[in-house]
Chains A and B, each alone.
Chain A
Amino acid sequence: MPAVTVLGLEGSANKVGAGLVRDGRVLSNPRRTFVPAPGQGFLPGQTARHHRGCVLAVLREALQEAGLEPADVDCVAYTKGPGMGAPLVTVAVVARTLAQLWNKPLLGVNHCVGHIEMGRLITGAQNPTVLYVSGGNTQVIAYSERRYRIFGETIDIAVGNCLDRFARVLKISNDPSPGYNIEQMAKKGQKLVELPYTVKGMDVSFSGILSHIEEVAHKMLASGECTPEDLCFSLQETLFAMLVEITERAMAHCGSQEALVVGGVGCNMRLQEMMRIMCAERGAKLFATDERFCIDNGAMIAQAGWEMFRTGQVTQLEDSWITQSAVWWGTPPDRGRAQQAPAQAAHGTQASESPWQHRRGQLSVRRR
């Protein structure tokens, strides 16, 4: 089979990236980040404007760095969702235009699938239990009964969202990211402030922690009871312990010997350290990547697109919509019509189902 080169375009949140991947080799992967002022989150309109402003520069950079011409690209992959509507549309329009201009097939990719496929590619993990943690996601996905399934997830807000909103309460800078700054401050924290710890089965809940901290933070700081650094430290210790606990439960449940952490929060070194200790204690192995691949990027979309392209999938122009919805996990191979809702095929049937399925809040994925 000749080499297949895929361009991946990502822009579902505040990062916009273009990556070129050729048969598992990352040729280039530049990106830009929209950084809101301290105390603020990123709004869809502003973020889309940012992406529109630099997406073509990022694309040019990707081609230049890889030393490729448009003719060398076999296929254009883009993030179809989930994510924020306006930024997604911005990037989808670029992908659609390129596909027509260059006369290349188009592929709509699920963002979450991108993170997992990229993590597997970079680390070489075979059958990992995946902890997927980012600004919009908190899931433990494991391989069981011939499928990837969601074993645990947040029942309210994502862990990254909790960190970001905490940063806004303390007016911590968003440059380069709130999570990074919290991590640095946490290193200087001494005192463990008691926070709610909420694990429910294999699920977690973070909204109680956030509202608790929003309520007490300023009082505690004013009275000198603790420092901002102590709060960062305590928040990380508590949130991450919950995440490691549910990952371990899923690993015990599936008898898994590998853990993989992906998503923006996954490049936090304290989280990686805790995961590594947990794995070592159960004779398992941790796989993790650094910020280049943990944080949203174009190469991950290219890699997931490459996997789909290889199995003969393409997205027709009329199907090249985007979706904010967390339910959509992939295009069913038969592609009769664009479907917003997941295929409701019964468990275990193999004929006409999408490899990625989300039913009753349960993702289940047929492995390639």
Chain B
Amino acid sequence: MAGGGGEAGACAVSPPPLQGLQLVQQGAEARLYRGQFLGRAAVVKLRFSKRYRHPALEERLSRRRTAQEARSLLRCRRAGISAPVVYFVDYVSNCIYLEDIVESTTVRDYITSVQQSGKDTSNLFLLAEKIGEVLARMHDEDLIHGDLTTSNMLLRPPVEELDLVLIDFGLSFISGLPEDKGVDLYVLEKAFLSTHPNTDTLFEALLKKYSATSKKSSLVIKKLDEVRLRGRKRSMVG
């Protein structure tokens, strides 16, 4: 047995210079601040370094993820896919300054609240279709998100309008391969079903809309099936 312990958030990084700065979230790999950037409501995502990683690897990953996040957000907006505007990227401290999607709700919180309220869930099916459609368009741009979860999708107010905004592109990359797109959906499927119990039919609606929207969906769905099967058939020795 081995003991760990120690105080939380040991890593000291100076916060970004921003008016009215406020720490809003401490995630696994980034801190999120809110404030004003040149008079606009902004969020700043600061990737802090991980002491468990070799410094050279750490440096490489932080830089790459910050750059990739900025690049993919731009690519989305150029393709007409809703994503926060990039205000500024600081490659020295690996900070990215983004448009604050003011008063937004994560899709995760929204699904949970509708499920808990016991209200009519038909709006959730519309939401699932909306997600399927947006992801189909994103994949048709050969953009792979890399970390699709319902926490990485926001809804602008009022939520009923289902104005979906994609965020958190740090693990994204460009690829036209059906395999990469299939895995992207596989990651979402697992996150979706494990975060939201009893949502199998909801996810099916999402995939159906994805298939109907994307021009190259048949190969992607075939790959998705393959990846699912791989998980089950993988020989587990040792």
- Flag if A287 contacts B1 (CB, 8 Å): yes
A45 CB, nearest partner CB in chain B, Å: 14
Which residues of the partner chain B approach A288 to less than 8 Å between Cβ atoms? 1-2
Rounded to whole angstroms, the CA-CA distance of A14 and B238 in the bound complex is 8
Residue-wise, chain A 57-90 has the 8 Å CB interface mask toward B (1 for contact) of 0000000000000000000000000111000000
Judged by a CB distance under 8 angstroms, whether A36 is at the interface is: no
Judged by a CB distance under 8 angstroms, whether B77 is at the interface is: no
Residue-wise, chain A 149-165 has the 8 Å CB interface mask toward B (1 for contact) of 10101111010110000
- Flag if B57 contacts A282 (CB, 8 Å): no
- Flag if B1 contacts A124 (CB, 8 Å): yes
Judged by a CB distance under 8 angstroms, whether B198 is at the interface is: yes
Judged by a CB distance under 8 angstroms, whether A248 is at the interface is: yes
Selected interface stretch from B46-54, B120-128, B130-138, B210-218: B46-54
Selected interface stretch from B7-15, B66-74, B99-107, B157-165: B7-15
Judged by a CB distance under 8 angstroms, whether B38 is at the interface is: no
A41 CB, nearest partner CB in chain B, Å: 10
Residue-wise, chain A 269-291 has the 8 Å CB interface mask toward B (1 for contact) of 00011111111111111111100
Which residues of the partner chain B approach A158 to less than 8 Å between Cβ atoms? 234, 236, 238
Judged by a CB distance under 8 angstroms, whether A144 is at the interface is: yes
- Flag if A200 contacts B234 (CB, 8 Å): no
- Flag if B194 contacts A149 (CB, 8 Å): yes
- Flag if A12 contacts B57 (CB, 8 Å): no
Residue-wise, chain A 117-154 has the 8 Å CB interface mask toward B (1 for contact) of 00000111000000000111100000011000101011
Q: A201-B147, A281-B9, A296-B238 are in contact. Are A194 and B60 (CB under 8 A)?
A: yes
- Flag if B232 contacts A325 (CB, 8 Å): yes
- Flag if A283 contacts B57 (CB, 8 Å): no
- Flag if A201 contacts B148 (CB, 8 Å): yes
A189 CB, nearest partner CB in chain B, Å: 11
Interface residue tally for chain B (C-beta within 8 Å): 51
- Flag if A248 contacts B28 (CB, 8 Å): yes
Judged by a CB distance under 8 angstroms, whether A336 is at the interface is: no
Judged by a CB distance under 8 angstroms, whether A237 is at the interface is: yes
B117 CB, nearest partner CB in chain A, Å: 18
Size range of the interface on A?
35 or more
Residues 178 to 202 of chain B near chain A (Cβ within 8 Å): 183-184, 186-191, 193-194, 197-198
Partner of A200, one of B187, B193, B238: B187
Judged by a CB distance under 8 angstroms, whether A222 is at the interface is: no
Which residues of the partner chain A approach B197 to less than 8 Å between Cβ atoms? 145, 347-348
- Flag if A201 contacts B187 (CB, 8 Å): yes
Q: Which 3 A-B pairs have the closest CB atoms?
A: A135-B238, A283-B8, A201-B187
Which residues of B are interface residues toward A (Cβ below 8 A)?
1-11, 27-29, 50-54, 56-57, 60-61, 146-149, 171, 183-184, 186-191, 193-194, 197-198, 227-228, 230-238
- Contact sample, A vs B, 21 pairs, CB 8 Å cutoff: A123-B1, A136-B238, A149-B194, A151-B194, A158-B236, A161-B237, A199-B146, A201-B188, A201-B191, A202-B187, A203-B187, A248-B29, A252-B27, A278-B52, A280-B10, A281-B11, A285-B4, A287-B2, A288-B2, A346-B198, A361-B228
Please name 19 further chain A to chain B contacts, defined as beta carbons within 8 Å, in addition to the given A200-B171, A241-B54, sorted by A numbering: A83-B237, A83-B238, A136-B237, A161-B237, A199-B171, A201-B171, A201-B187, A248-B28, A259-B4, A277-B52, A280-B4, A282-B9, A284-B4, A288-B1, A325-B232, A326-B231, A347-B197, A348-B197, A358-B232
